[in-house]
Amino acid sequence: MTNVLVYVCLPPEWLQHLTYLVIHAVYLGAVIQLIKHENSDFQKYGFWWPENSGKYISISALLAIAHVFITTFLPGSFMGFELLPPVPQASLEFMEILLTSIASESIFRGYIQGNLTRIYGFLPALGVTSLMFGLYGLQLPSLLSFDLTFFFTDIASLFIAGVFLGIFFQKTITLLCPVTFYGILLLSHRLTTLKAITTTYLALFFDVIAYVFLILLVYDLTRKKFLEQ
């Protein structure tokens, strides 16, 4: 409803950022109230700060940088780059990204995936949560364009991102890791002025390659005790 309202009314950009800030603050507040209402332990939903937080943040940041390299600089080095205009309202954009990453990961990874995993097991919970995450993140123009190519690639890209974030959370049991990764990823997508010149399906191909590589890397880091459950 918020996306439709913003798309139809086209308010000033600062007001759009402020609207999404409020919406995500409401999302986060709703999750916190639900957990309190259930008298549940917040740590069970990933709301805890590990002692070796610096290592977790560093690994999450490096994984996000690896994704950016594979999806942007690797194809761009072969096919070229296009220069995008600088982002206006950078401070509001940064605040929105920070709150979006915290709220979305608290909802999808912490609350929904956590509850579904306890009921149905990890793999069904991962699939359902990733699909919900893909539908949630789908941009309104993709729906209104009736272009199945953009619709499929957007859903597929968000779905595989949800799969990685769900595995990352399951392996670390703290929201610090998926929040850090997703926040840096959003920052790179929205604030960078370089974009690789690729086709839609080629961009999806590199996206899938990046996430498969990161998933294997997370399992390897867990096996070598760099990440502990």
Global pTM value:
0.92
pLDDT, tens only, 100-121: 999 999 999 999 999 999 999 9
Dist. CA 117–CA 181, nearest whole Å: 22
Dist. CA 24–CA 60, nearest whole Å: 22
pLDDT, tens only, 15-31: 888 888 899 999 999 99
Dist. CA 67–CA 48, nearest whole Å: 26
pLDDT, tens only, 47-56: 999 988 999 9
**In this model, does residue 229 exceed pLDDT 60?**
no
DSSP per-residue codes, 28-41: HHHHHHHHHHTT--
DSSP per-residue codes, 24-90: HHHHHHHHHHHHHHTT--GGGGT----TTHHHHHHHHHHHHHHHHIIIIIHHHHHH-EEEPPPPSSH
- Cβ contact 157:207 at 8 Å: yes
Distances (CA, A) of 120 to 17, 39, 116, 195: 37, 21, 6, 40
Rounded mean pLDDT of 193-217? 91
Ranking 39-43, 58-62, 79-83, 210-214 by mean pLDDT, the lowest is 79-83
Q: How many other CB atoms are there within 10 angstroms of residue 97's CB atom?
A: 22
Of the candidates 206, 200, 79, the one whose C-alpha atom is nearest the C-alpha of residue 151 is 200
